[in-house]
């Protein structure tokens, strides 16, 4: 029976945290990119191939021939941030580091906005077939009649896969003397499909790292509990693994995730493609490992649905109550119908995961995720400037939607123009293509019709609470009660309520506020979410993909607020908007049940993703009664068809102390928006943004 390894994940974790504190430079933990150096050296010194895909694949292979293959004594999982990033430039590279990284940049690469990072390869198929299996499919595809471009694409994918296999072999050779067991594991996964839990975990991780080495950020590990479970079951049955051994390996993996210092989404629970509850032993082990490691980078997303067990709900709650912000909760009863509306078959829709923060993604079957931001309040500002021209609230809303739709069309044109600048023949992606379903069979790049499903480009619609509250105030106090004239309100907004604090307080206190189960304002939010979703779905990306509204903004509500003046909800000029789909800070005064009732009223089935932040005081969970109350809330979240919920369990006393004495609270983790982070490393603006949220 294999139990815990003699290696210590706690030592790995401690080293990563210490290095991050000591060597944080210009917003980076490891600021020097070795992969970029070797990529650029290839571009600068080799003659270009007629096929850009083949040339870039060869550059990838050349890079993998030169990246470090080292393993610290305490590490049980090979590869990590140290594979391609460095705290300092190695002396032998220092002389021409700037030149070759410049050559890499000069060649040009796709970027997040047009689809490059925020992705998940077909790990399920990779674990079933191995790298050799993928190459065998390429060999079969090459026997068919193809255009030269298609033959080049297949060659480029084969070069990329062979490079990954060769890297595993080179790594195994380099560490064989001091780490024979891990070396043997690397040698096994270099070609055939993995056979053990440890082998499967290592293959997923090394592919994740090699993708990240190409400047792809915030990629996800996908449905890890589903991919790894057959190996876990088999090893348990054969007596070569027990629960403690699996937990230890997961902790080692999560300590390596910490070293990346970026949101790495890991999805658990949910439904099987056949519609059964997918929760298994690994779902619980992943929650347990997350609680032990406490890394803000393991962005755990728990999928809930009508069949989810109380045991799984409670296991999620027990991790949430620790305060690290994990897991975020996602509702399959909303997300699966959203995906089927896009034409995705039900079995694939049930297999979704999240990438980046909260973005819905079909792992291994679509182009890399991309998104952009849309400051909806700027549209509302222009409408409020014209208050005098509207005789009724309905006229105002008609004008608002017309103005909004016009700006959406402009946004679509701008995005498609950007997409047109990154053609697949000039900016191919042979590595991701090789790992994405259907690209081999179609002999096409992932961005050229190779992927099974078309692009999804999300657009973050910021400040739902601010806009809903503002429109409710105008409707009630201007048009219905006539408590304030249109001219007076317009002037007050233009001057940030100068010499008119009484009006600001009236707007705050007399108008209904989103988050309190008041249909007067909640119905406005419902209408807004409906229009946002339908308006974006009317448009297509240049390559036939979907534009999708996202009620999620990370911390962009802070910057967005800096662009707009005062608003009719009483918000001051240039201050943050409400975050994502959450009520405005402190305005949800009737408790968590009223909060949930409000945020579950909109139909989110036209939204790719949503962020709703809730905050609780730690004492809420002190007794079993609080835990059970929270279970009732998560059950109601599913039943009412809300889309997403995420939680902070903090009090302002602790957060204020952390601001004053950051060294004493260096490992304090909080939920920010679609991700968690160390509180003391956030900007003061983001820290204040968190502290403004009402704690229940």
pLDDT over 60 at 1, yes or no: no
DSSP 509-562: HHS--TTSS-HHHHHHHHHHHHHHHHHHHT-B-TTS-EEEEEE--TTHHHHHHT
Q: Of how many residues is the chain composed?
A: 696
Query: Is 476 within the bounds of a domain?
Result: yes
What phi, psi does 549 have (nearest 5°)?
Answer: -70, 140
Give dist(CA 330, CA 271) in Å, integer. 12
pLDDT of res. 23: 64
pLDDT of res. 583: 95
Sign of CA dihedral 675, 221, 7, 16: negative
Give dist(CA 486, CA 384) in Å, integer. 9
Q: How far does the chain reach from its first CA to its final CA, in angstroms? A: 46
DSSP 123-174: HHHHHHHHHHHHHHHHHHHTTS---HHHHHHHHHHHHHHHHHHHHHHHHHHH
pLDDT of res. 666: 81
Closest by Cα among 91, 87, 69, 86 to 78 = 69
Domain tally for the chain? 1
Mean pLDDT, the chain, as a whole number? 95
pLDDT over 80 at 395, yes or no: yes
Per-residue pLDDT of 624-677, as tens digits, reads 998 999 999 999 999 999 999 999 998 889 888 988 888 888 888 888 877 888
| E strands, 280-405, in order | 298-304, 328-331, 353-355, 359-361, 370-374
Query: Is 308 within the bounds of a domain?
Result: no
DSSP at 453: B
Two structure tokens written together for 281:
């032993």
pLDDT of res. 694: 81
Per-residue pLDDT of 178-199, as tens digits, reads 999 999 999 999 999 999 999 9
CB atoms within 10 A of CB 495: 13
Reported as a pLDDT band with limits 50, 70 and 90, residue 209 is: very high
Query: Is 543 within the bounds of a domain?
Result: yes
Give dist(CA 41, CA 35) in Å, integer. 10
Query: Is 153 within the bounds of a domain?
Result: no
Give the least confident one: 225-229, 484-488, 593-597, 621-625: 621-625
Query: Is 528 within the bounds of a domain?
Result: yes
Per-residue pLDDT of 23-73, as tens digits, reads 655 456 778 999 999 999 999 999 998 999 999 999 999 999 999 999 999
Query: Is 159 within the bounds of a domain?
Result: no
pLDDT over 50 at 214, yes or no: yes
Per-residue pLDDT of 406-437, as tens digits, reads 999 999 999 999 999 999 999 999 999 999 99
How would you class 375 by CB atoms within 10 Å of its CB: exposed for 0-12, middle for 13-18, buried for 19 or more?
A: buried
Two structure tokens written together for 3:
């139990």
Give percent of the chain with pLDDT exceeding 70. Answer: 98
More confident residue, 338 or 29: 338
CB atoms within 10 A of CB 601: 18
pLDDT of res. 689: 84
Query: Is 74 within the bounds of a domain?
Result: no
Closest by Cα among 550, 531, 532, 512 to 673 = 550
Rounded to 10 degrees, what is the CA torsion of 658, 659, 663, 666?
60
Q: ω before 327 within 30° of 0 (cis)? A: yes
Query: Is 348 within the bounds of a domain?
Result: no
Mean pLDDT along residues 498-507: 97
Contact indicator for 686, 558 with CB cutoff of 8 Å: yes
pLDDT of res. 26: 47
Per-residue pLDDT of 490-502, as tens digits, reads 999 999 999 999 9
User: Which domain, by its residues, includes 492?
Assistant: 370-611
pLDDT over 90 at 449, yes or no: yes
Per-residue pLDDT of 149-172, as tens digits, reads 999 999 999 999 999 999 999 999
Contact indicator for 222, 228 with CB cutoff of 8 Å: no
pLDDT of res. 37: 98
Instruction: Say what the pTM is.
Output: 0.95
Q: What is residue 371's three-state secondary structure?
A: strand
Reported as a pLDDT band with limits 50, 70 and 90, residue 4 is: low
DSSP 46-112: SPPPS-HHHHHHHHHHHHHHHS-----TT-SS---GGGTEESS--GGGTTTHHHHHHHHHHH----G
Give percent of the chain with pLDDT exceeding 90. Answer: 86
């Amino acid at each position: 029976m294999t139990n815990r390894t003699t290696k210590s994940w706690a030592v790995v974790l401690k080293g990563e945290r210490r290095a991050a504190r000591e060597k944080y430079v210009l917003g980076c933990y490891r600021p020097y990119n070795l992969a970029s150096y070797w990529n650029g050296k290839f571009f600068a010194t080799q003659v270009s191939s007629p096929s850009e895909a083949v040339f870039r694949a060869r550059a990838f292979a050349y890079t993998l021939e030169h990246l470090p293959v080292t393993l610290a004594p305490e590490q049980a999982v090979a590869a990590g941030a140290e594979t391609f990033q460095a705290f300092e430039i190695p002396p032998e590279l220092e002389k021409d580091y700037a030149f070759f990284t410049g050559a890499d940049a000069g060649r040009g690469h796709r970027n997040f906005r047009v689809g490059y990072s925020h992705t998940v390869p077909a790990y399920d198929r990779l674990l079933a077939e191995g790298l050799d299996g993928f190459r065998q499919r390429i060999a079969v595809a090459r026997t068919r009649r193809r255009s030269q471009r298609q033959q080049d694409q297949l060659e480029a994918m084969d070069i990329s896969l062979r490079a990954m296999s060769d890297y595993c072999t080179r790594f195994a050779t380099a560490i064989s003397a001091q780490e024979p067991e891990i070396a043997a594991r690397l040698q096994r996964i270099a070609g055939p499909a993995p056979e053990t839990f440890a082998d499967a975990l290592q293959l997923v991780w090394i592919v994740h790292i090699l993708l990240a080495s190409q400047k792809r950020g915030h990629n996800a590990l996908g449905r890890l509990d589903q991919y790894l479970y057959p190996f876990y079951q088999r090893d348990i049955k054969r007596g070569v693994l027990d629960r403690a051994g699996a937990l230890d390996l997961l902790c080692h993996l999560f300590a390596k995730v910490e070293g990346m210092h970026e949101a790495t989404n890991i999805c658990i629970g949910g439904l099987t493609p056949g519609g059964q509850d997918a929760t298994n032993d690994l779902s619980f082990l992943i929650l347990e490992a997350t609680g032990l490691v406490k890394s803000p980078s393991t962005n755990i997303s728990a999928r809930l649905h009508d069949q989810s067990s109380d045991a799984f709900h409670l296991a999620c709650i027990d991790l949430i109550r620790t305060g690290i912000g994990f897991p975020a909760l996602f509702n399959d009863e909303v997300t699966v119908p959203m995906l089927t509306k896009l034409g995705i078959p039900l079995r694939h829709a049930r297999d979704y995961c999240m990438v980046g923060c909260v973005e819905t993604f079909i792992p291994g079957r679509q182009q890399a995720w991309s998104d952009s931001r849309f400051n909806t309040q700027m549209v509302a500002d222009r409408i409020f400037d014209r208050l005098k021209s509207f005789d009724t609230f309905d006229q105002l809303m008609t004008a608002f939607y017309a103005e909004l739709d016009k700006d959406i069309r402009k946004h679509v044109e701008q995005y498609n123009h950007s997409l047109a600048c990154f053609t697949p023949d000039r900016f191919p992606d042979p590595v991701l293509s090789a790992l994405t379903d259907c690209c081999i069979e179609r002999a096409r790049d992932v961005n050229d019709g190779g992927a099974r499903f078309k692009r999804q480009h999300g657009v973050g619609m910021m400040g739902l609470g601010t806009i809903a509250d503002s429109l409710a105030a105008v409707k009630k106090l201007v048009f219905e009660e006539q408590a304030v004239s249109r001219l007076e309100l317009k002037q007050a907004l233009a001057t940030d309520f100068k010499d008119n604090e009484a009006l600001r307080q009236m707007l705050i206190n007399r108008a209904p506020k989103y988050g309190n189960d008041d249909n007067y304002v909640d119905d406005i939010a419902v209408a807004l979410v409906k229009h946002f979703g339908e308006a974006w779905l009317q448009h297509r990306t240049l390559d036939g993909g979907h534009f999708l509204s996202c009620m999620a903004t990370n911390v962009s509500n802070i910057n967005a607020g800096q662009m707009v003046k005062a608003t009719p909800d009483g918000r001051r000029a240039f201050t943050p908007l409400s975050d994502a789909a959450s009520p405005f800070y402190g305005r949800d005064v009737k408790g968590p049940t009223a909060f949930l009732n409000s945020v579950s009223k909109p139909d989110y089935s036209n939204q790719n993703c949503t962020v709703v932040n809730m905050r609780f005081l730690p004492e809420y969970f002190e007794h079993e009664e609080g835990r059970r109350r929270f279970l009732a809330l998560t059950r109601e979240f599913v039943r009412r068809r809300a889309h997403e919920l995420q939680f902070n369990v903090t009090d302002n006393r602790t957060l204020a102390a952390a601001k004053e004495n950051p060294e004493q609270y260096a490992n304090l983790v909080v939920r920010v928006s679609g991700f968690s982070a160390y509180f003391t490393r956030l900007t003061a603006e983001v820290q204040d943004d968190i502290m403004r949220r009402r704690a229940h």
